[in-house]
């Protein structure tokens, strides 16, 4: 039996532009290269998961039902690549709530690993912020990648911030790097 390998993605700023507390599914769009990058990763046998902090829920700016509609729209946008997000890990809490599930804490990633029998040693985290890098590190994943979309360029420039194993201009760059890293394990 082969172990499931996965890529965990932050959502806003990584897969799609972040307009700030996205509430309208019609405003959701993908960054260039996302579909192509997911196709490359799918071809290498990866499964996809999203791990996202959504404090807009805790702030009362968006309801969970609206969030589900946004994720339904995301799945529809991914259809042309023949890929889907298997599952979503969502933290609806405010930063000051001190919950156990908000990134950079690894709970959402670890819960998905357990639920789906994912192998951390063959899995990756991709995001645009330091909390994404730390969530992947804290969950014990093989590698973490920073994408220069969203807040990625600013995150990369922070000299004191956590360092990613790879930094790419977009998801396609990162996908090629992950496949190259993965092939070294085969």
Cα dist from 133 to 26, 30, 79, 93, whole Å: 29, 21, 27, 20
User: What distance in Å separates the CA atoms of residue 92 and residue 162, rounded to the nearest whole number?
Assistant: 24
Tell me the three state secondary structure of residue 56: helix
Measured N-to-C along each axis, helices 171-185 and 34-43 cross at an angle, to the nearest 10 degrees, of 10
Instruction: Provide the strand spans (E) within the chain.
Output: 6-9, 47-53, 85-91, 124-127, 143-147, 166-168
Q: How many CB atoms lie within 10 A of CB 31?
A: 18
- Residue whose token pair is 């029998």: 117
Catalytic: which of 12, 130, 165, 182? 12
- Judge whether 10 counts as a catalytic residue: yes
Tell me the three state secondary structure of residue 159: coil
Active site residues: 10, 12
């Amino acid at each position: 039996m082969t172990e499931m390998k996965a890529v965990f993605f932050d959502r806003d700023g990584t897969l799609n532009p972040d307009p700030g507390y996205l509430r309208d599914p019609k405003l959701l769009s993908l960054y260039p290269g996302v579909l192509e990058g997911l196709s490359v990763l799918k071809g290498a046998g990866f499964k996809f998961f999203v791990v996202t902090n959504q404090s807009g829920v805790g702030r009362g700016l968006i309801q969970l039902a609206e969030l589900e509609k946004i994720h339904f729209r995301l799945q529809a946008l991914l259809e042309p690549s023949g890929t889907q997000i298997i599952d979503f890990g969502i933290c609806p809490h405010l930063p000051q709530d001190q919950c156990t599930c908000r990134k950079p804490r690894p709970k959402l990633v670890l819960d998905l690993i357990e639920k789906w029998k994912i192998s951390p040693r063959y899995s990756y985290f991709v995001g645009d912020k330091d909390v994404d890098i730390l969530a992947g590190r804290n969950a014990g994943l093989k590698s973490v990648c920073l994408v220069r979309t969203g807040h990625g360029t600013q995150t990369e420039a922070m000299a004191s911030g956590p360092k990613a194993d790879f930094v790419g201009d977009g998801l396609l760059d990162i996908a090629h790097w992950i496949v190259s890293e993965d092939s070294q394990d085969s």
